[in-house]
Each structure stands twice: as C-alpha cells, then as structure tokens.
C-alpha cells in the first residue's frame, strides 16, 4: 500500500474531526454527616475546560437521604481589603466612605443567593447592592473566631441598616448545620435589614431565628482570614475589614446541594453529582452522607406554609384562617396571643377564638407531626365595628412562654411570631404592578407603578395611601389618581444613582385597613464598553446584568440585531465577550 496515500487519508480524517475538549472537573467533595431529620447545605465548585456553562444533576443511593440541586438562583460577589500602614507590602489606596484608606488585599467571596427559599430577602439584597449601600461603605464590624463574621452596616458599628425593616423568611430545610452559610443579622423577630453574617461552623442555636439566604461557594480562605483577624473587646477588628465592592455576578460553573436526612440514625448513602457542559463533556463526583443523631437542636418552631389570606370582611362578619407551625423534632407546640393595645384590636382580641389540631410536615425522607401545631382562628370584631385590628400570633415549644412574656423574664423560651392586620367594614384591595425603565442620575415624576381597585365604583382617591420602597434604600409616598378607565393608579417620583434592576414595593392601604402590596421592577440599564485589540472586539458590561442579551448589527439603518453567540467570561465585576472583527463595522447593544 502507498504509505503517502495512507498518511494523507489519516491527516484528512484528523482535520475534519470535531475538536476534543477535556471533560469538566468537579472539585473534591468530602464525606459528610447530616443531623437526623434535618438538612445540610453542600457547596459544589467546578471548572469547565471549554468555558461552556455547566448543568448539574445529583442522585442519592438511598431514599433515606434526599438531595436537591439549587438552580436558577443569583450569585453575589464581594471584594474585601484590610486597613494597613502605608509601608505594608502590597499597600494601596482605596475609596472608603467619601475619603480614602490605605489597605492591603484580602480577596473575594462568591455566594449563591437562595431566591428559591428567601425571595423577599434576595429582592432586598439585590436592590441595596445595586444602590451601592455595601460598596466602599461597609465593613465586617464584628468577628468572633470560630463562629462568624458580620458586616453590612452603613454605620459600621452594628447599629445601622436601611430605612426600612422586613420579615424573616424561614424554611424547614434551611438550618445552620454547615459552614459558610450566609444569614441576616437582626435585633429580634422580623427586624431584618442590611446586616448579614457568614458562619465558620455549625450554629444550631440560630435555627429559625435568623434568615439563611445564601451559601459561600468560593473564598473560604478569605472567610478564614477575616475570622482570624485580631479584634478588640467588642469583637471589632483592630484593622478595618472593608467591603470595596459588592455585586450580583453570573456563575455558570458552581452549584449548591441540600441534603435532607431521615430521622433515623446511621442511614448512609452515596451522593453522586454530574456536571454536563452540553457539548459532550460530562464528569461525575461522589461522596458519602450519613445521618447521625441530632444532639444540637434548639427546639425552635417556625410558622410555615401559606400565611393568613382572609383578612378583609364586612362589619359583623367573622374571619376564619388557618396558621401552621412546625417543630422539626416533633415536639408539642403551644399558641399564645399577646394582648394588643389599641381599642379596635382589643375588641377583636376579646371576641376571637381558635381551635387546635396536629400539624404535619412531610419531606422526601420523613414526616413530622406536631401536637396542636395547626390552629383554626376565628377573628370576630365588636358589633358594628368598622376599622382595622392587628393581632400577634406566637407559637412556642414551651408551655411557659406566656408566663415568661407576662413577667418580662429572659431569655424567652424558643418561639416564632407573626402579626396580621384584619379590616372590617372594608373591601379587599386588588393591585397590579407596572414594570418600568429609568436612567441613572435622571429624575422622573408621575411614573406609573401600579393600578388597583377595591371593587367600589367611584371610591375617592383620598380613601387610600400608597407607600413606595424603591429598592435602593429610599422610600416615599405615591400619588393616587383615577385614570380614564376609572382605575386607580399609583404614581411615583424618584432618581436612581446607579444602573441596576430594582424591586419596587408598592403598598396600597385604605383608611379602613384593607391593604395590598405588589412588586414592580425598575430597570436602570447598564452601559456597554467596546475596545479593539488586534483583530478582536472586546465587549464588556456590568456582570450583574445577567438578564440582558448582547446583540450586534452591521447597519444602524433598519438594524437587524442578532444575538452574539460567544460565551461571556467573568473578569472581575464585568462580563466580557471577545468577538472577531469582520470587514463590515459592528455595532453592539444590550437588550432585555
């Protein structure tokens, strides 16, 4: 056979073979133990050798341990530096609180944010981050070795926060059993703000006392460095640990698992996780998980499931609602109703009644039954009473909670708390939000935010008020008008200083007490930058803008915009695409 011909044939075959890339690589995963009947969060990091996004799936070898892959959640990155003398190796100047500070670099931390279990919290964090509350303005002001690091206070001393507060968000499958867990600090139930902490180790005393809203994926060395810094007697670092930048970013290569174990001790399973790049590259990693007796429970119950929704009625009509509580250790639960102080609430409190039944919480691995965990509550106002009544509902694993509360004894036994406002002699408010676009540093007025009705034709606009939380640590009141279709509209005025996507909460309330809250999105579009390097166009834009698509065209007249197919890469806090230049000029834009 002619060897020259054979060589040509083999060469031609090789030339036309598709390129071969190495499979993705999942970083090593250690074997773990799960508190029996509880959950454990596992961060998973990986590398995609061809830069393609990875899709993760996971399985368990036993039905005694369930595994969930968290998907479609945002990621949050922050950069940290430490105050330093001018002659320190690597020292540089950075902006801080309107001035500048000499610092050395500590590093970056990247978290997955749990929109799937704490959606309102993630809305708040997204808005405050876009508004710049954290960037070059906050520090880690409290550090306790072996426990946690705490930051996010615009006052830098633990006393501050945004101009509003909001409620806790608890989930039975989010407990402090791991490390690198991201949670909100608070000063009591339902007082959440901008302050957060990151755990170094399990913190089971905090279960259902603090909203868990994320998990550290990358930067455990940074967490450890901050946690080991020298502090004073108030646990404040002697040298400021400054957050120089915080932003939402894309992360297509990492994920988070939640494992939930049976309440039986000793059950063991193999957890198998697969990363797929969608182009034939697949890899598998596995580890062993074992359920062990939970000796660290704080017996903290939580209010869980659908909240009360039957809140508005005509006068002299009793409202019926259900409220469900869970104690993951199956303990008996006790309900308490602290007396209110205003006359309308007192009348409803005096006339109301409830009945108990057992609550049942089911997971893929076990059932929990709590004696008297479910209440059926009958809210009955005084005869002919018209107005609002606010009642407080408390559930505890201790029958002594009411006694402790009555006599001001501390600490109170474990408890969950929620307040509800009922309206009598009123009609429900039904509202629809209106998303809108604004521009950074450009003020706007009379922006339509929501339309609403209370089902009563020609009701006066003066019967209602509207409160607006703009999402960027700003609040004000809206203007209510009636449009040509006889619908009521909420109009607002504001100015955003930074580009970003902001959740805008509009709360509409009638003078008799009926209320509705809706959420609009204010889109303040980012700018796109273009640079030329050799024969390539380098296009970059802010990394938080993951909902925007990069598009290009060769002609702005009658432009036919096409999506740029190149995968973007993360460079610091920018998404970057390299696009080969053509003979024709290219124009680029970002489009939602």
Which of 192, 218, 251 is at the close of a domain? 251
Whether this model's pTM surpasses 0.75: yes
493 within some domain: yes
Which of 240, 263, 292 is at the close of a domain? 292
The C-alpha atoms of residue 212 and residue 172 are separated, in whole angstroms, by: 11
Return the pLDDT at 583.
Answer: 63
6 within some domain: no
At 419 the three-state DSSP class reads strand
401 within some domain: yes
Q: Are residues 329 and 344 in the same domain?
A: yes
Q: Are residues 180 and 100 in the same domain?
A: yes
Structural element, H or E, at residue 552: strand 549-553
Q: How many domains does the chain have?
A: 5
At 15 the three-state DSSP class reads helix
The C-alpha atoms of residue 114 and residue 112 are separated, in whole angstroms, by: 6
Return the pLDDT at 548.
Answer: 95
Chunked mean pLDDT (size 10), the chain, 592 residues: 40 42 91 97 96 96 97 98 97 97 98 97 98 97 98 97 97 97 97 98 97 98 98 98 98 97 95 96 97 96 91 96 96 96 88 94 90 96 94 97 96 96 97 98 98 94 98 98 94 98 98 97 96 86 95 86 90 90 77 92
Dump pLDDT digits (tens) for 439-476. 999 999 999 999 999 999 899 999 999 999 999 999 99
The gap from C-alpha 292 to its chain's centroid, in whole angstroms, comes to 29
Q: Are residues 245 and 263 in the same domain?
A: no
C-alpha pair distances (Å), 145 with each of 175, 199, 230, 231, 330: 20, 10, 9, 9, 33
Return the pLDDT at 7.
Answer: 37
Dump pLDDT digits (tens) for 278-311. 999 999 999 999 999 999 999 999 999 888 999 9
Given 3-state DSSP classes, what are the helix, strand and coil percentages for the chain, each rounded to the nearest 5?
10, 45, 45
Return the pLDDT at 205.
Answer: 96
Return the pLDDT at 18.
Answer: 46
DSSP 512-542: TS-EEEEEEEEEEPPP-EEEEETTEEEEEEE
In terms of residue numbers, what domain contains 472?
430-524
Which of 397, 424, 451 is at the close of a domain? 424
488-494 and 479-482 beta bridge pairing: antiparallel
């Amino acid at each position: 056979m002619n060897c020259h011909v054979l060589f040509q044939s083999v060469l031609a075959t090789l030339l036309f073979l598709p390129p071969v890339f190495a499979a993705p690589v999942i970083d090593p995963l250690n074997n773990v133990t799960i508190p029996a009947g509880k959950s454990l969060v596992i961060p998973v990091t990986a590398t995609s050798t061809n830069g393609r996004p990875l899709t993760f799936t996971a399985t368990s070898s036993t039905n005694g341990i369930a595994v969930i892959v968290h998907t479609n959640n945002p990621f949050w990155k922050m950069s940290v530096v430490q105050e330093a003398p001018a002659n320190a190796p690597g020292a540089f100047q950075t902006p801080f609180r309107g001035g500048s500070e000499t610092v050395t670099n500590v590093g970056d931390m990247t978290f997955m944010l749990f929109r799937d279990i704490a959606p309102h919290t993630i809305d708040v964090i997204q808005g405050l981050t876009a508004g710049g509350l954290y960037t070059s303005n906050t520090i880690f002001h409290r550090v306790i070795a072996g426990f946690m690091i705490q930051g996010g206070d615009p006052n830098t001393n633990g006393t501050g926060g945004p101009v509003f507060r909001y409620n806790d968000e608890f989930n039975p499958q989010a407990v402090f059993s791991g490390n690198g867990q991201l949670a909100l600090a608070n000063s009591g139930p339902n007082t959440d703000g901008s302050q957060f902490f990151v755990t170094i180790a399990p913190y089971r005393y905090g279960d259902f006392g603090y909203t868990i809203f994320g998990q550290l994926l990358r930067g455990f060395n940074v967490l450890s460095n901050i946690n080991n810094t020298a502090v004073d007697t108030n646990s404040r670092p002697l040298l400021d640990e400054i957050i120089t930048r915080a932003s939402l970013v894309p992360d297509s290569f990492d994920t988070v698992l939640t494992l939930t174990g049976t309440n039986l001790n000793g059950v063991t399973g193999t957890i198998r996780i697969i990363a797929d790049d969608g182009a034939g590259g697949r890899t598998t990693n596995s580890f062993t998980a074992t359920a062990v007796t939970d000796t660290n429970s704080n017996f903290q119950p939580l209010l869980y499931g659908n909240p009360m929704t039957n809140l508005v009625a005509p006068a002299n009509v009793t409202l019926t609602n259900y409220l469900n509580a869970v104690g993951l250790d199956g303990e008996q639960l006790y309900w308490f109703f602290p007396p209110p102080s205003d006359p309308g609430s007192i009348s409803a409190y005096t006339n109301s009644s409830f009945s108990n039944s057992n609550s049942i919480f089911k997971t893929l691995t076990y059932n929990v039954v709590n004696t008297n965990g479910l209440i059926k509550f009958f809210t009955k106002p005084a005869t002919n009473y018209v107005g609002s009544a606010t009642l407080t509902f408390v559930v505890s694993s201790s029958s002594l909670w009411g006694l402790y509360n009555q006599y001001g004894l501390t600490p109170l036994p474990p408890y969950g708390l929620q307040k509800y406002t009922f309206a009598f002699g009123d009609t429900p408010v039904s509202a629809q939000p209106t998303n809108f676009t604004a521009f950074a540093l450009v003020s706007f007025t009379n922006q339509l935010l929501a339309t609403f009705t209370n089902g009563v034709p020609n009701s006066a606009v003066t019967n209602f008020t509207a409160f607006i939380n703009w999402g960027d640590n700003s609040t004000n009141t809206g203007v209510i008008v009636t449009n040509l279709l006889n619908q009521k509209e909420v109009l607002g005025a504001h100015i955003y200083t930074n580009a970003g996507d902001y959740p805008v909460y509009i709360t509409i309330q009638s003078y008799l007490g009926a209320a509705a809250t809706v959420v609009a999105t204010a889109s303040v579009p980012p700018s796109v930058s273009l640079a030329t390097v050799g024969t390539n166009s380098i296009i970059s834009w802010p990394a938080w803008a993951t909902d925007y698509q990069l598009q290009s065209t060769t002609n702005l007249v009658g432009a036919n915009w096409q999506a740029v197919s190149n995968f973007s890469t993360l460079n610091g806090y920018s998404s970057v695409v390299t696009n080969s230049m053509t003979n024709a000029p290219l124009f680029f834009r970002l489009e939602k």
